[in-house]
Amino acid sequence: MSVAEAELAGTSHAPGIAALHPRRRRLSTRLLRSELRIIAGRRRNQAGLLVLAAVPIVMAIAVKMSTPRAGEGPDFLSSITSNGLFVPLAALSVEMAMFLPLAMSMLSGDAIAGEANLGTLRYLLTVPVNRTRLLLVKFASLCIGAVWGIAAVALPGAAIGIALFGTGPLTTLSGSQIGFGAAVWRLVLVILYLAAGLAGLAAVGLFISTLTEVPIAAAIALMVFTILSWILDSVPQLGWLHPWLLVDHWLAFGDLLRDPMAGGEIGRGLLTAAGYAVVFWLAAWARFAGKDITS
Amino acid sequence: MTQLTAEGEQAAPVGRASDVPSPAAPSPARAAVPDASLAIATHGLTKRFGSQVAVNDVDLRVPHGAVYGFLGPNGSGKTTTIRMLLGLIEPTAGSRSLLGMAIPQQATIALHRVGSLVEGPAFHPYLSGRANLERLDAADVLADPRTTRVRIGTALERVGLTAAAGKRYRAYSLGMRQRLAIAAALLAPRDLLVLDEPTNGLDPQGTREVRSLIGSLASDGTTVFVSSHLLAEVEQICSHLGVMRDGRLVAQGTASEVRGGGTVSLHLVTAQPEEAAAVLTALGVQSVIADVGEVRGIPGELEPEAIVAALVRAGVGVRSFTASSPSLEDLFVSLTGEGFDVSG
């Protein structure tokens, strides 16, 4: 019996059902949308977004209440009073160190390990969802989660900054002044650049998530990875390693606020993030594609 | 009974010989072509975890339209077999096909027509029952989003969960969770249902409902593969049986074939057990045991009528005479070994 005959015979047992479901292979975003609904609907994630959003608000109010003393504070913080858009920039530079990576850790821990822990992974795979597709959808949802997290810092930050300090011309790090519209555009570029950095981190998290069935363990492992990266980045003797570290490039977003924009470091940052994303997504795939699902 | 307990090689042909006339069976290339005449077919399916063999050379043959009871004690390899069927676990050796399609090569098309319940329900606790079903439907590329609402409503209705559909899953009782899992298996029109312990956690009423649900699905032509360690629930609904022990399939066939494999035994109640035992032994009844007021034995080929006639001729008063096949429970114990010890 040939394979063709076998298939013919197989469908002949249920002709009605076979006719109802012709073999459609269209690109569907339903699973991605469902994934985003789950991420957005989870209380813990909503609370996390509130914490992320609270930081720029606290910073802005603190600066507004204090009497400015010249020559103190980090770059952005002292510039806040001149233009409200410096509030989200200052908050982002603070939160990229720990808070935003922590948010990515929680999300990526949920991605595969969380589903395995609940047991929902086996039911997704028997729906069936192709494993490669599942990893692609999970990674896409993490990338969108990264944009959400950064927007949760930047948008409330911009709102309260503009409310408290106005929308005057923005003095770039090079000393020149640009108009408000151009400044908003720069802020959008910063958001996208940092989201790319977090996406690289999310790929690492996705890989870790395929190694365990305990979501919190995956989350902690990604935080350890992040903290180790920062530590290595702070050791001058390891200078040769720094360009290979994901976190080393993150604070280069200040280059987007120069006039004209300095692209070199930004480009290297994007390349590094893309490299991490590709390498670790492939590692996750290599691990997950043939894995026995016993959860 | 001994010939059945011995080994799978002896028992398995019970089903192969008469039940399933399969064109692929005599073929020497036993792993090459998926057998389209069977809803589930495995060939030499084997899974090792390290040094332990969880499933050992299992040849399942589940014909279309059957309600197949997959029996075995805890730890006998039932769930591992089911996970291999559904493509969750890769076998160490052997092949498997669902609805005539090889797994995992054609899993996307095959599994869409298979509803499954594997090792208990699992859903997102903070989503409602309905939202959980919507998520599973969203994951299915072959499902039509226009009919999602109707299909979910029908599935919830069938398992009696409509009233609780809006509640969060975490608030569900075990029985409601089990019902939701069955609803998920019924989300799309299915040709095959693979149900692992479907009545776990259900009260007697719920167990009966699931049984009648399986019955009505089967009468619609759906093949149902039910694993269970509870014999009573399987005994009433299954047309076919397969029995696992220590990772091996030790018996398989139609329910009557598997049960017929058990030896008939006789039970005689009489006031003269000694005389009765002598008559029975003279007739050629094996393993005759005389007790106070009763005699047991294995009549073999002897007709019950002939035995009773001989007893009466010899002047033995017969108060009660029973020649019976073993109950499924006796058979199960004889096939899988007694006791509560978990295999391996």
DSSP annotation string for A175-205: S-EE-HHHHHHHHHHHHHHHHHHHHHHHHHH
Mean pLDDT of A173-193: 89
Instruction: Report DSSP state, residue A95.
Output: H
Specify the pLDDT at position B209: 85
Which pLDDT tens digit goes with each residue over A22-36?
A: 445 567 899 999 999
Q: Which residues of chain B have pLDDT under 70?
A: 1-35, 233, 261-262, 338-344
Separation between Cα atoms, residue B106 and residue B341, nearest integer Å: 38
Residue A136 in contact with partner chain B when CB distance is under 8 A: no
* CA B123 remoteness from chain centre: 26
* Residue whose structure tokens are 């009782």: B173
* CA-angle at B275, arms to B269 and B277, nearest 5°: 65
Of A43 and A260, the structure prediction assigns the larger pLDDT to A43
Which pLDDT tens digit goes with each residue over A48-62?
A: 999 999 999 999 998
Separation between Cα atoms, residue B324 and residue B118, nearest integer Å: 36
Q: Using the beta-carbon criterion (under 8 Å), do A122 and B139 form an inter-chain contact?
A: no
Sheet containing B192-196: give its strands across. Answer: B114-117, B192-196, B223-228, B67-71, B240-245, B248-254
Of A72 and A137, the structure prediction assigns the larger pLDDT to A137
Amino acid of residue A197: G
Query: Strand B38-49 and strand B192-196: pairing?
Result: unpaired
Nearest chain B alpha carbon to A12? B36
How many A/B residue pairs have CB atoms within 8 Å?
127
* Residue B315 backbone dihedrals phi, psi, to 5 degrees: 80, 20
Q: Which domains are present in chain B?
A: 2-260 (3.40.50.300), 265-324 (3.30.70.100)
Q: Looking at the predicted structure, is the pLDDT value of residue A7 above 50?
A: no
Closest among A126, A135, A20 to B110, alpha carbons compared? A126
Specify the pLDDT at position A68: 57
Q: Which residues of A touch B127 (CB under 8 A)?
A: 38, 41
Smallest Cβ distance to B34: which of A6, A21, A31? A6
Query: Own/partner pairs for B301-309, CB < 8 Å, 24+ apart?
Result: B304/B266, B307/B266, B307/B280, B307/B283
Specify the pLDDT at position B208: 86
Of A2 and B262, the structure prediction assigns the larger pLDDT to B262
Q: Looking at the predicted structure, is the pLDDT value of residue A264 above 50?
A: yes
| H-helix or E-strand spanning residue A161 | helix A131-165
B220: number of Cβ within 10 Å: 10
Which pLDDT tens digit goes with each residue over A132-152?
A: 999 999 999 999 999 999 999
Q: Which residues of A touch B138 (CB under 8 A)?
A: 30-31, 33-34
Residue A25 in contact with partner chain B when CB distance is under 8 A: yes
Specify the pLDDT at position B153: 96
CB-based burial, B84-113: b 16+ in 10 Å, e otherwise: bbbbbbebeebbbbbbbbbbbebbbbbbbb
Delimit the domains of chain A by residue range. 27-288
Separation between Cα atoms, residue A263 and residue A253, nearest integer Å: 10
* Residue whose structure tokens are 């690289």: A200
Q: Which residues of A touch B81 (CB under 8 A)?
A: none
Q: What is the rounded average pLDDT for all residues in chain A?
A: 87
Of A110 and A170, the structure prediction assigns the larger pLDDT to A110
* Residue whose structure tokens are 């949920």: A110
